[in-house]
Amino acid sequence: MLVLENIWLALTSLIANKMRALLTMLGIIIGIGSVIAIMTVGDSITNSVTTSMQSMGANNITVGLQQKSTEDEVTESGMKFEGGPRGRSMTDEDYITDEMIEELQKTYADDIDAISLSESVGSATAEDGKLYANINITGVNDGYLSANELEFVAGRTLSEIDQEKAKKVALVSDKLVNNLFEGDAGAAIGETIEVTLNNKYLIYTIVGVYEYSVSSYGFSSESEEDVTTDVYIPLKTAQTQNHNNSGYSQFTIITSVDTDSTSFLEKVEKFFDQYYARNENYQISAYSMESMISSMTDMLSTISIAIAIIAGISLLVGGIGVMNIMLVSITERTREIGTRKALGATNGSIRFQFIMESVVICLLGGFIGIVLGIVLGSVAVSIMGYDASPSVAGIIFSVTFSILIGVFFGYYPANKAAKMNPIEALRYE
C-alpha cells in the first residue's frame, strides 16, 4: 500500500506542475528515444542481412587459393615486419584440379552434399534489333544450380548431357524474356540469344527460364529494363570458350545438414595441405557463411551499442535535471515534510516518498522515450527498405536504466528531505 500511495502522491505532484514535469523528463525522453531508435535500426539491419546470408547457405564453405606471404623481415634494430603477398601470377600447377575435388568428395562423402563450381565468361548485351538485355554469362555445374535453388518459370534445368557434351544451351531470367520476348516465357524456350563478347560471336539456345530475384541487401541504380541478370550455361561450355583447362581458383562446398561447417572447414584446409604444402606461392583458405554471419552480427552489434552509449550520455543530463527539480520540489514542500515528520513519519518513509517520485518521473519519461524511439527507428528502417525489428533488449535496458537513474539521482534530494529537522521545517516560510 505504501508504494501505491507514494506513486499516487508523485503523480499528483506532477499533474500540479505539468510543464515543469515535462521539461524535467525531456532529457530522459531524448536519451531513451535515441537509444531505442539506434538499437531498432541496428537490430533491423542485422536481422535482414543475417536472414539474407542464411538463405544463401549458412553452412556452405567457400574454398579458394590465397597467395602466401613472404617471410618476416628483420631489421638491424631487431624489429620484425611481415612481408606482403608474393607477386607471381598463377600457373597451371597452382589451380585446384578436378582430381583434387573428386578426392575431397570421396574422403568426406558423409559431410558433403554437393560441390558448386562456376566459371565466368563475361558481361555482354544480348540484342535482337532494337531490343536488348544486359547479362552476365556464367558457366555452372549441377552443384551450383542445386545450391542456388532457381525457381523455374518455364523449360528445364541444365541436364547431365548438356554438361558432358558442352552444349551451347542457356538458362535465362524472366527479366531477359521481358526485354527480348515480350514476357512470353513459353515462346522463349528453344529460341536463341546472340551476344558479342571479346570479339567473339556467341549463340546460346534457351532451355529454361528462371525467376529473377534481387538480393535483399543489394542496391542497384539500374532501371527495370537495364538491370543485369545472369545467363547460366554448362560449366564445360564456359571452360571451352575461355580455353581454360587448368582448374579452379575457388569453389563452394554445400555441406550436409548435420555437418558443423566451422570444424569441417579446418578439415578441408588440412586436406589440401598435402597438395599445397610445397607450393611456394599459394595456399588454400576456407571460410563459411556461418562464420561471416557471426562476424558481421558482432560488428553491427558493437557499432549499435557504441552509438547507443554516446546517445545515452543525454540520460545523465536528464538525471541531473531530475535531481535539480527534486531539490526545488523539496524546498517548496518543506512545511509538508515537517508536518509529516511531526505526525510520526520516519526518515525512511520520507526518503522512500521522494525516491519514488523521482523514479516515477524517470519511468514516465522512459516510456514516452521508448514509444518515440520505436516510431523513429521504424520510420528510418522503412525508408532504408528493411523490416522493422524493435530491440527488445533495448526496451528492457531502457526501463531498467530509467529506474536506476530515478534511484541514483533521487537519493540525494530524498535523503536531504529525510534529515530535515521537523521544528525548523514547520517554521519555514
* Nearest-angstrom CA–CA distance, 422 and 344: 10
- Indicate if 301 and 253 belong to the same structural domain: no
Most confident of 25-29, 95-99, 263-267: 95-99
Residues 175-219 have pLDDT tens digits of 999 999 989 999 999 999 999 888 888 999 999 999 998 754 444
In a domain, 63, yes or no: no
Q: Give the model's pLDDT for residue 93.
A: 84
Of the three residues 288, 311, 337, the one that is the final residue of a domain is 288
* Nearest-angstrom CA–CA distance, 194 and 175: 16
In a domain, 90, yes or no: no
- Indicate if 26 and 123 belong to the same structural domain: no
Of the three residues 288, 319, 343, the one that is the final residue of a domain is 288
- Indicate if 266 and 336 belong to the same structural domain: no
The answer to whether residues 339 and 417 touch, using CB atoms and an 8 Å cutoff, is: no
In a domain, 92, yes or no: no
> What is the residue-averaged pLDDT of the chain?
81
Average pLDDT over residues 314-336: 78
> For a pLDDT cut of 70, what percent of the chain falls above it?
84
Q: Give the model's pLDDT for residue 377.
A: 86
| Cα 46 versus chain centre, distance | 3
Res. 82: pLDDT tops 60: no
Q: Give the model's pLDDT for residue 223.
A: 62
Confidence of residue 79 (pLDDT cuts 50, 70, 90): very low
| Full-model pTM | 0.58
The answer to whether residues 49 and 303 touch, using CB atoms and an 8 Å cutoff, is: no
Q: Give the model's pLDDT for residue 88.
A: 61
Residues 225-257 have pLDDT tens digits of 778 999 999 999 999 998 887 788 889 988 887
Average pLDDT over residues 418-426: 71
- Indicate if 242 and 351 belong to the same structural domain: no
Res. 153: pLDDT tops 50: yes
In a domain, 112, yes or no: yes
Q: Give the model's pLDDT for residue 427.
A: 63
Res. 81: pLDDT tops 50: no
Q: Give the model's pLDDT for residue 147.
A: 80
- Indicate if 267 and 316 belong to the same structural domain: no
Res. 274: pLDDT tops 60: yes
Query: Can you list the alpha helix ranges (DSSP code H) found in 181-256?
Result: 185-188, 235-242
User: How far are the Cα atoms of 91, 273, 358, 413 from residue 111, in angstroms, in the given order?
Assistant: 31, 19, 60, 66
In a domain, 62, yes or no: no
- Indicate if 199 and 323 belong to the same structural domain: no
- Indicate if 353 and 333 belong to the same structural domain: yes
Domain encompassing residue 112: 98-288
In a domain, 65, yes or no: no
Question: For strand 229-234 and strand 131-140, is the pairing parallel, antiparallel, or unpaired?
Answer: parallel
Q: Give the model's pLDDT for residue 174.
A: 94
- Indicate if 301 and 346 belong to the same structural domain: yes
- Residue 278 DSSP code: T
Res. 358: pLDDT tops 90: no
Chain position carrying cell 520505436: 374
Neighbouring-strand partners of residue 229: 135
- Indicate if 228 and 342 belong to the same structural domain: no
In a domain, 174, yes or no: yes
Q: In 3D, which of 312, 297, 425 has the Cα closest to residue 373?
A: 312
- Indicate if 201 and 317 belong to the same structural domain: no
Residues 9-56 have pLDDT tens digits of 777 777 777 787 787 788 888 888 888 888 888 777 777 766 665 555
How many distinct structural domains can be found in the chain?
Answer: 2
| Cα 7 versus chain centre, distance | 42
In a domain, 84, yes or no: no
What's the Rg (C-alpha) of the chain?
34
User: How far are the Cα atoms of 267, 301, 337 from residue 384, in angstroms, in the given order?
Assistant: 40, 18, 54
Helix (H) or strand (E) holding 401: helix 392-418
Q: Give the model's pLDDT for residue 49.
A: 67
Of the three residues 288, 316, 336, the one that is the final residue of a domain is 288
Helix (H) or strand (E) holding 231: strand 229-234
Q: Which residues contact 12 (CB under 8 A, 6 or more apart)?
A: none
Residues 282-303 have pLDDT tens digits of 888 888 766 666 677 777 777 7
Res. 154: pLDDT tops 60: yes
- Indicate if 146 and 266 belong to the same structural domain: yes
Is pLDDT larger for residue 427 or for residue 170?
Answer: 170
Q: Give the model's pLDDT for residue 312.
A: 67
Q: Give the model's pLDDT for residue 181.
A: 92
**Helix %, strand %, coil % of the chain (to 5):** 55, 20, 25
Q: Give the model's pLDDT for residue 170.
A: 96
- Indicate if 203 and 265 belong to the same structural domain: yes
